[in-house]
Amino acid sequence: MTNISFSMPMSEPGFQRKLGTVCIFGTGDFGRSLGLRLLQAGYGVVFGSRNPKNSSLLPKGAQVMSHEEAAQTSRIIFVAVHRENYDFLQQAGGEMLAGKVLVDVSNNLRRNQYPESNAEHLSKLVPAASVVKAFNTVSAWALQSGGLDANRQVLICGDNSEAKQMVVDIARSLGLTALDKGSLRAAGEIEDYPLQLFPLWRLPIALATGLTAFIFFYVLTLDVIYAAVIDGEDISFRIMVSLANKVFPIVSLIMLALCYLPGAMAGFLQLYNGTKYRRFPDWLDRWMLCRKQLGLIALALASLHVLYTLIIPFRYYVRYRVNIWTAAQIKQNKTGTFDTTMAWRTDSYYSVGILGFGLYVLLGITSLPSVSNTINWREFRFIQSKLGHLTLFLCTLHTFLYGWDKFLRPSAYKWYLPPGYMLSLVVPCVVLVLKFVLITPCVDRAVTRIRQGWERKPAGSLANGDPKGRRLLVL
């Protein structure tokens, strides 16, 4: 392994590596796709099959044998068989599989289909072998297509670290990324992974749905129901566009603010604790982990608000009202005086809204994985924190300019309730005030010191600290 003359053929270190043979039990979709990919990567592939003579679908270059024969060709065996058919492994287990590495690639149809994970079940059936759970997160299709467009992460767990390393090496040879998740007890979690449906999005979507429903009924009450009860007018047609265009921006602004609230709260908590090594409460942790999702939903709603606003001029209702109004003015021979304040105010309102939305979209683009991948931590923080708070400020200002002095007029408070847009201002104002306090020089200095590791209390208090370095998540 020391320095050898580089001119000697066949013996350079770093160059020579002969890939071994891999055995696959099962000739279904996944087994065949995996075999093809292994062959392409330079491995030898031997399929084990109940019926070796009737396997015409296998990739060219692979051998097919009985399970017993196949098992003898390789130390590593991929078990590409449904869990219901694991029994034959138990019967043959004693001699055939002793000392082998069995890779369980199986998936279930739904969560908690079986009391214990497939891999742990397999391990009990064949205790003489080392079972590794892997490759279940990769689809047969991803294996074939070269994995360009699909998830390329192979989650791996198992009790024998040498066996795991063999599987890691194979995954890497196939151009996949391996991630070790620990002992075989993690198999259940890995088996649940392909059955997940946007787990990080659940809380933000639930929140968005709840807020949307609440705000919808609130503005429905103040607009449609109030008009029906007090004026006896049916303006329910306003639900489709006018009300939607009130609900979406209100929920969007609240959610954008909720995206930045936990960061401010974490800052104050660190100030209060006098250390960054005290663990945040669980709810705050969970909240901070879904900020990206909160922000993206807020962006989607803001985009809808933009579209709903831009169609205003050609709505039938708007055209009708404009016509009536024009006709009335002409009849009364009024020309109307031009109100410069009004022009400044409305134009500022539009302009601030557009700039805010532009920054909003920029935040969305930088949260695309391939973009956030190319920027360093300082750049990421600059965009998501500095530009993020600027976005929140502009959108809040946009709402204030919309309201202008209406909050002073009693007629704006139907049934003594504030109009919807006022509700949307509460959380953003709280966030902006908190943030403003945090960036005043003296507070900022204290927070920065704490985030760099300084502690007010002695180090002995570390015992209840947080080993996950959450400081970095506080934008």
Looking at residues 25 to 54 of the shown chain, list those that interact with a copy of itself (rule: CB under 8 A): 28-30, 32-33, 36, 40-42, 44, 54
CA-based torsion, 206, 210, 216, 217: positive or negative: positive
Residue type for position 142: A
Helix (H, G, I), strand (E, B) or coil at 185: helix
Binding mask 212-241 for a copy of itself (x = CB under 8 A): ----------------------x--xx-xx
Question: Based on CB atoms, which residue is closest to a copy of itself, 130 or 424?
Answer: 130
Q: Is 330 in the site for a copy of itself (CB under 8 A)?
A: yes
Cα separation of 312 and 179, whole Å?
51
If we measure between CA atoms, which residue out of 54, 137, 34, 447 comes closest to residue 46? 34
Question: Based on CB atoms, which residue is closest to a copy of itself, 82 or 456?
Answer: 82
Q: Could you tell me how many residues of this chain bind a copy of itself (CB under 8 A)?
A: 155
DSSP 430-444: HHHHHHHHHTSHHHH
Question: Based on CB atoms, which residue is closest to a copy of itself, 54 or 113?
Answer: 54
Pick one of 355, 390, 438, 443: the residue that binds a copy of itself (CB under 8 A). 355
Residue 352 is encoded by which pair of tokens?
Answer: 């601030």
CB under 8 A: which stretch of 158-166, 261-269, 410-418, 439-447 binds a copy of itself?
158-166
* Residues of this chain, 119-148, that bind a copy of itself according to CB under 8 A: 137, 139-142, 144, 146, 148
Cα separation of 166 and 82, whole Å?
23
Contacts of 327 (CB under 8 A, 6+ apart): none
Tokens 């006098």 label which residue?
274
Q: Is 354 in the site for a copy of itself (CB under 8 A)?
A: yes
If we measure between CA atoms, which residue out of 357, 363, 365, 369 comes closest to residue 383? 363
Cα separation of 180 and 154, whole Å?
8
CB of 93 to a copy of itself, least distance (A): 16
Question: Based on CB atoms, which residue is closest to a copy of itself, 241 or 434?
Answer: 241
Q: Is 169 in the site for a copy of itself (CB under 8 A)?
A: yes
CB of 384 to a copy of itself, least distance (A): 11
Q: Is 73 in the site for a copy of itself (CB under 8 A)?
A: yes
Q: Which long-range contacts (CB under 8 A, 24 or more apart) does 195-198 make?
A: 195/107, 195/108, 195/110, 195/111
Q: Is 94 in the site for a copy of itself (CB under 8 A)?
A: no
CB under 8 A: which stretch of 119-127, 215-223, 250-258, 337-345 binds a copy of itself?
337-345
To which H or E segment does residue 130 belong? strand 130-133
CB under 8 A: which stretch of 115-123, 280-288, 343-351, 412-420 binds a copy of itself?
343-351
CB of 215 to a copy of itself, least distance (A): 17
Residue 239 is encoded by which pair of tokens?
Answer: 């639900």
CB of 438 to a copy of itself, least distance (A): 19
- Contact of 70 with 48, CB cutoff 8 Å: yes
* Residues of this chain, 297-316, that bind a copy of itself according to CB under 8 A: 300, 303-304, 306-316
Note the helical H segments in 80-198: 87-96, 118-125, 140-144, 161-173, 187-192
Question: Based on CB atoms, which residue is closest to a copy of itself, 375 or 426?
Answer: 375
Q: Is 408 in the site for a copy of itself (CB under 8 A)?
A: no
Residue 392 is encoded by which pair of tokens?
Answer: 């929140």
